[in-house]
Amino acid sequence: DQQVKQNSPSLSVQEGRISILNCDYTNSMFDYFLWYKKYPAEGPTFLISISSIKDKNEDGRFTVFLNKSAKHLSLHIVPSQPGDSAVYFCAASGGSGNTGKLIFGQGTTLQVKP
């Protein structure tokens, strides 16, 4: 029962172009969404988050969009840089008795080509 899904296992983008990573969720009780970036042999690093009361949050080159009716969020990276090459995890939390538990998607490997 996978409540958070990232249907694209990998994405390849040219340097300078936009990278769009997608994430779908099934639990309407989720009220907070996060994106993490992970390099090999390192732990996930928090990138950006969005509350369910917003539909957009921007931080530098990174923007997260939330479409609650579609239960879909996306991460836009503009412009993409080779150093952005990593695995990106979408995560969600919330619901009754929120315990801070994060439910992760399976990750999308982004490759940015120079």
Partner 1 sequence: DTAVSQTPKYLVTQMGNDKSIKCEQNLGHDTMYWYKQDSKKFLKIMFSYNNKELIINETVPNRFSPKSPDKAHLNLHINSLELGDSAVYFCASSPSRVLTEAFFGQGTRLTVV
Tell me whether residue 1 or residue 114 sits nearer to partner 1 (CB atom). 1
Tell me whether residue 11 or residue 79 sits nearer to partner 1 (CB atom). 11
Tell me whether residue 48 or residue 79 sits nearer to partner 1 (CB atom). 48
Distance between CA 67 and CA 70 in Å, rounded?
5
- 47's tokens: 């990138």
Residues of this chain that bind partner 1 (CB under 8 A): 32, 34, 36, 41-46, 49, 87, 89, 93, 98-104, 106-107
Rounded to the nearest whole angstrom, what is the least distance from the CB of residue 72 to partner 1 in the complex? 20
Q: Are the beta carbons of 32 and 73 closer than 8 angstroms?
A: no
